[in-house]
Structure formats: C-alpha cells, structure tokens
Amino acid sequence: MNSEVVFTSEADSIASQHLLQHFRRDEQQEDLCFALWRPSTGQTREVALINEIILPGKGDRTLHGNTSFEPGYLERAIETACKKKAGLAFMHSHPSPGWQGMSGPDVEAERDVLAYPAGATGLPLVGLTIGTDGYWSGRFWRKTGRRMRCCWCDKIRAVGPQSYKIYFNDEIVQPPARKEILKRTFDTWGRTSQDTIARLNVGIVGLGSVGCTVAEAIARIGVAQATLIDPDKIEKHNLDRLLYGTKKDIGKLKVDVAARAMKSHATAEKIRITTFPLSIHNQTAYQAALDCDIVFSCVDRPVARDVLNYIAHAHLIPVIDGGVAVETDSRQANLFSAHWRAHIVTPYHQCMRCNGQYNSSMVVMELDGSLDNPSYISDLPEEERGTNQNVFPFSLSVAGMETNLMLRYLLAADWWPLVQQQDCQFVAGEMRIINKECHMHCSFRQRRAQGDRENPSYLIKGEKPLTTPELHAI
C-alpha cells in the first residue's frame, strides 16, 4: 500500500501558520502540533485526510530551538482522536525548505514515543514535517510484527478553493527528464508545474466523446499515469463523436481503445494506463478512482455523478465535470439552442447536486432501473428526461474547458480570479463564469474529509459489470 496525506485548505493554513510562526519572525525556532486524520482507502494507496488541527495550549510544549511536547498534550490529542474515531498525526517544522528527512531525535520521538500510544486509535501514527517554504513531507508508522516501520509518503496534497498544491517525495516519485518532445509545454508553464502535472495519476470516468478528448489532451501534456473507467463498448452511433473510434473498433471496450491511442500519443517517457471496464459505482472501480489525484467526470448519468460527488467531498479528490445540453426545434428541424458547461468540484466549490447536474430522485430512479424504462421516462418533466443529441465540436469544447480548468487549478497564482464554472451558450456566443456555494443544508457539506466513513451506500461488490446502459459517457 502506498501512503499519502491530503489537507483541507483550512487545516493546511492553520498548521503552517502555527508551525512556521517563529521562522516568519526570523527566529530559528521549530514548533510542533498534533492533528486528526481519517483514512481514504484506494486500491493501491492509503491516504490520511487531515481537516482538524489540535494546537498546543499554554504549557503543552517547550521551545528550545528544537521543541518537545508535554505528556498531557499527547494524552489530550489521543483522547480527542479516540472520541472522534480518527487517527493521530504529529507535525513539526524544520529550518530549511523542501521535502524533509528525519533527524535521530525525530525518529526517536515518532517511532519510540508516539507510534505505540497512537495505536490506541486503531490507526497508524502519521508524521509530518513542514519546511520553511511551506513544503510538506510525511510518513506512516506501520506495525510489522513487533516493530514500527517508517513508510514514506509518495506525496502530500492540499486542496483549496483557488489552487491545488502537491508536494512530491522526489526519491519515490522522480520528476521527469526535460525532453525535446515537451519543449513547448515546459516553456509554457515552467519546470515546476510540469514536474507536478507529469506525476499526477489522472482519472477519467466515461470514455465517450468528451472523455476521449480529455484523454488525448492529458497524454499530449506529458501525464505519465492515467486511470480509465467505463463499462461500455463502442457502438456504431458513437462514431460521429468518438475521437479514437473507427469502424473496426465497434464492439471493443471504450477503455481499451482509449488506452491504445493514449499509449501511442503520449509524450511522457513511459505512460502507465490502468483500465477498468466497470461502472464507477462498482467497488473496484470506485477504489481505483480513490487512487487518482484528480478525476474527470465525463458521464451524463446521475449515479455516476453522485459517486463522483462523494469522491470530491469526502475523499478530497478534485473532480472536473462537464455536460452538453442541446435543444432542437422539432417543427423547423433546426438547432434551437445548445449550451455546455464545465466546473470544478471540491469541498470549496458547489457540488454537482447543488449546481443542478443531477438530483437525488434521479439517482434512485437509475438504481431501481426506472430511468431506463421508456414508458416511465415519457412521464417525466423534460429537464429530467435527458437528451442524447450532441456533436463532436460541442464535445471538443467541453473537453477543452475541462482540461483547462484542471490546468488553472494546478497553475493558479494567488492573484488569479476564481473560476469555478464556465458556461457557454452556443447561439448567443457567450461564456459566463459562475462561482457559487452549496445550499446551506447540502448533505455533502457534512461529508467533507470524512473518507471511508462516507462512501455511497449502493456500491456494488465484485468485478462483474452491470447490464448496460449504466454509465452513458458523453
């Protein structure tokens, strides 16, 4: 199991302000604190979600250049963790920038003093160090036999409203070599951003016309790891919109055709693509999505969007969703209106239920099969019926908006304006920016950073794909 940590923006800023307060005043003084974490378990990685910091009170720690905590502070932190059914994390600062190693006293404190009592929570101790530049590094202390083993994290992430910060452990996940083939890409956003983009595991749920075009974009910009999820096979009526599909591909799995094309178009030295011909509400595919650092939602079904809402809010994996709606004037048989939009979904952006991409009754109807029952559908209000009209250029725009929202989120400097949703009206030729919050009583607000405790109740166990249609990629 790989180990990782992800922070909510509040937890990141509270912890870093506390831990770096002395360095920011030019004093050579480290600091420490505890935090709570909740597990998010993917197929290949366990992630500690950190949303709550337990700051020291008066007399809880001693500062002497280095820093040490009093037993009462540790007791209070463990008690709080047990009461909230969370794990314990210990954080401290170092007087140098970048990913930090551990000194002898660091190892002694975490392995010998903290790791065993932290076991009372039922979860391993997570140790974190922050450098003077705010760069996080971290490890899990896992018990093997009677010994505590240090498992270094691959990376630490921090999800915010404006940007997504990712701190890599270069020894485990090496940055890519600067290659001629990516010269123009490197020259566009620089080495540091390219090192981040190239090392992401990018998920794409739905490999239809939008998903395949997103796949092409991420393969071209040097992404070296992708996870593709879609249970469907290519049909004849897909071929007017499917970037990679040819007549020879009819009957083949969409994920296989997309993976084949991505491999031949990839600019990364080596691209690793994992395919799941499963619906996203299948447990296996769901956990594969939990291994991703960012997920594109290229589906038009309510259950898939509901699952992705959980992934974004409960598991702190940013989701980028989009959709196309077309209206044809039946009397004149001409295009009447077309609009498409793309938006980013995290705990800091409106969820897909609040922004109207689906509603709970549609989820129930899809799960009980009535959404696919033609007589039932004809009784529904028009906006809930769903339409299948679409053309390649519209999908191309959505895919472009989605990939550019990903880039904005990864590259944004503090002064960039917030862009949560872009909404494009084809006939009026307008593009609007929409930034909104979830409704006051939206249940996804409570699911923030709850991880495995807040998975959808209807996940299906086992590898067997459901009968189609089940995912309807756009």
- Least distance from C-beta 294 to Zn ion, angstroms? 20
Does 354 engage in binding with Zn ion (CB under 5 A)?
A: yes
Contact status: 384 vs Zn ion (CB under 5 A): no
Q: Which of 298, 444, 448, 474 binds Zn ion (CB under 5 A)?
A: 444
Q: Examine residue 438 and tell whether it contacts Zn ion (CB under 5 A).
A: yes
* Sole window of 9-17, 372-380, 393-401, 436-444 interacting with Zn ion (rule: CB under 5 A): 436-444
153 binds Zn ion (CB under 5 A): no
Min CB(316)–Zn ion separation in Å: 15
- The nearest distance, CB 56 to Zn ion, in angstroms, is 16
Least distance from C-beta 443 to Zn ion, angstroms? 8
Considering only residues 59 to 118 of the shown chain, the ones binding Zn ion according to CB under 5 A are: 106
Conformational region of residue 44, where left means phi above 0, alpha means psi within -120 to 50, and beta covers everything else = alpha
As measured in angstroms, the least distance from the Cβ of 152 to Zn ion is 15
**Residue 308 interacts with Zn ion (CB under 5 A): yes or no:** no
Nearer to Zn ion, 406 or 438 (CB): 438
Distance set, CA 224 to CA 177, 187, 263 (Å): 12, 19, 10
Interface with Zn ion, residue 55, by CB under 5 A: no
Residues, the chain: 474
Site for Zn ion in 234-253 (CB under 5 A): none
Cβ partners under 8 Å of residue 247, min gap 6: 239
In whole angstroms, how close is the CB of 110 to Zn ion at the nearest point? 9
- Residues 198 and 224: beta-carbon distance below 8 Å: yes
CA–CA distances in Å: residue 75 to residues 82, 146, 376? 11, 23, 59
Nearer to Zn ion, 108 or 240 (CB): 108
Measured distance CA(279)–CA(410) in Å, rounded:
28
Number of amino acids touching Zn ion (CB under 5 A): 6
Q: Which is nearer to Zn ion, 106 or 452 (CB)?
A: 106
Question: Least distance from C-beta 350 to Zn ion, angstroms?
Answer: 6
Based on CB atoms, which residue is closest to Zn ion, 258 or 449?
449
> CA 350, CA 441: separation in Å to the nearest integer?
12
Nearer CB in complex with Zn ion: 319/351: 351
Q: Which is nearer to Zn ion, 255 or 438 (CB)?
A: 438
Shortest gap between Cβ of 445 and Zn ion (angstroms)? Answer: 7
Q: Please give the Cα distance from 146 to 148 (Å, whole number).
A: 7
Rounded to a whole number of angstroms, the minimum distance from the CB of residue 357 to Zn ion is 10
User: Interface residues for Zn ion in 277-306 (CB under 5 A)?
Assistant: none
Q: How far is the CB of 370 from Zn ion (least distance, A)?
A: 24
Count Cβ atoms within 10 A of the Cβ of residue 171 and give its class: 0-12 exposed, 13-18 middle, 19 or more buried: exposed
According to CB under 5 A, which one of 114, 351, 371, 474 is a site residue for Zn ion? 351
Point out which span in 50-58, 216-224, 418-426, 441-449 binds Zn ion (CB under 5 A). Answer: 441-449
Q: Which of 113, 150, 391, 442 binds Zn ion (CB under 5 A)?
A: 442
Q: Is 310 in the site for Zn ion (CB under 5 A)?
A: no
Report the alpha-carbon angle 128-132-134, nearest 5. 60
Find, among 351, 358, 357, the residue nearest to 436 by Cα: 351
Residues 80 and 54 sit within 8 Å (Cβ to Cβ): yes
Handedness of CA 234, 307, 221, 390 (dihedral sign): positive
Q: Which stretch binds Zn ion (CB under 5 A): 116-124, 262-270, 412-420, 438-446?
A: 438-446
Q: Which residues bind Zn ion (CB under 5 A)?
A: 106, 351, 354, 438, 442, 444
